[in-house]
Amino acid sequence: MHVTGASSGIGEACVARFVAEGATVIGSDVAEPEAGFAGVSFVQCDVRDAGGQQQVVEQIMADHGQLDVLVTAAGVASGGPVHSLDLEEWQRCQDINLTGTMLSAKYALGPMIAQKSGSIITIASVEGLEGCEGGSSYNAAKGGVVLLTKNLANDYGVVGIRANCICPGFIKTPMFHSVVDQMPWADEIRKQHKLRRFGESSEVAGAAFFLASDDSSFVTGISLPVDGGYTAGHAYGLAEMWT
């Protein structure tokens, strides 16, 4: 299997979970991981680099002869109201989060079509399911990932390839800490998760493992929130009155 964005955060947690389950994992990222995993091959690759992505898949096929699972965990934070948004920053966000996901799937699909099987698991966000203040570029990119994944399910289910999207809530990753820790309203964001806490990368990895496994063999085209109830509805503090 191939995990993009494997050096940290959700990607790193997915690598750890799949290795623990006995999978052969190839991780790619723009930077080498600080902590390696025994038996895992890491390839330095930017998801925006079509040629590099193609070479990663070609090497996987040369070394292992098949590619059963793709997890697209590479991503960056971005945002701002549209009237003040820098075009270059908008494009960077779309290129990494959306186009990078498309390119990862594009090159994984060749082997999967040939073997008539495969599971593509994209990582979007709750912000790809609903809007939020100041999230224009990131939300647009992650919303695109949600619909791209549905199209993959539509286009390739006929040859036995499943495609599903995970939409994490606010998960404690390096990207989370670089953004949310700076927000004076971070505790209000926490309270919007109905479990009243932020999530762990391992919890997203658990969902990815389910979607890669035979336990989800009849599941395709879904957008699965792993969000502690963030998208379940609005919370105004009433629950505290009776708990």
Q: Which residues are catalytic?
A: 138
Give the HSE-up count for residue 88: Cα atoms under 13 Å, Cβ half-sphere: 0
